[in-house]
Structure 1
Amino acid sequence: MSLVAAQTLTVRTWVARPNNSLSVSARNWVFAVTVAVSSSIALVFSYFGAWPVVPFTGLELALLWYALRHVEAAARDFEKITLESGRLIIESRRGQLVERHEFHPYWARLHCFKPAGQYNHRLLIGSHGKQVEVGRLLTEEQKMALATELKNNLGAVWPDHPR
């Protein structure tokens, strides 16, 4: 997963995205090559009388197509945290679900905990009874780095508050 932090004089932003090792054109190329090779093998086997190979090849290609479409949909997922002097904005996209939450940074608190029986920590940002989980796309080390940065910047008006 990738975590990119950016800062200007008045705005600080963290953006998390899943790793995306294949571009759209590369995924299409992989699928086209697999179709060509698998179809060729299936046709040769069916020519020699092993025709039941053809439906299984079709099923295999359909499952590969579905998996590549799922990867493509997940490639657009993100989490974005924007911290301004008067607003904390958390935006996320998971599949078709797009969410946007806004908090006042002075009142927002970060809760970092590890649920019993689980390996990874959870990060919740909350204020006035509303909580939002962040860092779902991050590794454990990245979550801890993000938690440290957020703890240093939440609970006080940033950047006007002297440190």
Structure 2
Amino acid sequence: MVITARQADVTVITLIPNRSANGRQLKLFFLPLAAISLLIATFWTFMGAWVVLPFAGLEVGLLAFILHRVWLFNQRQQQITLKRDTIAIDDDEPAFASNCLLQRSETRLSIANSPAAEVDEVCLFDTAHRVELGGFLNNSDKQLVVTELKGEGLPVFLYVRADSSM
């Protein structure tokens, strides 16, 4: 999802992954599955097949871990603040939380296309930095980001990637 806010000479573009489920919905998905799995494992434990219980616990633990990672990914957000002289990029991904400040006069927009997608990769770069924008976005949202940044007057470099499947 791409959200753009403009005030005077400042434009803020916020990039957020498309979310099919929020945290509450993930819990409502997890709890019944975990309860059923542990209920069945407990039944078989009382029937004498005690070796089932650790594997059920492993299954529930793995499901909890995967759903937690999905939730963390869905919380990711990138914010691009375009001012008259600077472009600030704030990325709050837990593993790679970073802030980058680019000089607007030296900043270029790089768009990589591949045969499989209209927009494969969108980057902002200057002489010292290269930052990928919205790696978690779908193609239509990446195209929207490109449109917004072109509208801000950034110079564009377009290149086509060779198809790697051949």
Q: What is the CA deviation profile of residues 83-120 of structure 1, one whole-angstrom value per residue up to 9, with x for unaligned ones?
A: 111221111122332111112223211111125x7645
Q: CA separation in 2, counterparts of 1:34 and 1:57?
A: 11
Contact 2:77 2:92 in 1 (8 A): yes
Q: CA separation in 1, counterparts of 2:82 and 2:120?
A: 22
Equivalent residue, structure 2, for 1:44: 43
Contact 1:79 1:137 in 2 (8 A): no
Equivalent residue, structure 2, for 1:100: 99
SS at match of 2:54: helix
Q: CA separation in 2, counterparts of 1:3 and 1:44?
A: 49
Q: CA separation in 1, counterparts of 2:33 and 2:85?
A: 53
Q: Which runs of 4+ in 1 moved over 6 A?
A: none
Q: What is the CA deviation profile of residues 130-154 of structure 1, one whole-angstrom value per residue up to 9, with x for unaligned ones?
A: 3211121211111112112212213
Let me know the Cα RMSD of the aligned residues: 2.3
Residue 96 of structure 2 is aligned to residue 76 of structure 1? no
Q: CA separation in 1, counterparts of 2:30 and 2:122?
A: 38
SS at match of 2:142: helix
Unmatched tracts of structure 2, length 5 or more: 156-166
SS at match of 1:113: strand
Q: CA separation in 2, counterparts of 1:24 and 1:145?
A: 27
The equivalences for 1:52-131 within 5 A come to: 52-114=51-113, 119=117, 120-131=119-130
Q: CA separation in 1, counterparts of 2:4 and 2:61?
A: 39
Unmatched tracts of structure 1, length 5 or more: 157-163
Q: TM-score, normalised by structure 2?
A: 0.79
Aligned residues: 154
Residue 137 of structure 2 is aligned to residue 138 of structure 1? yes
Residue 34 of structure 2 is aligned to residue 35 of structure 1? yes
Residue 7 of structure 2 is aligned to residue 8 of structure 1? yes
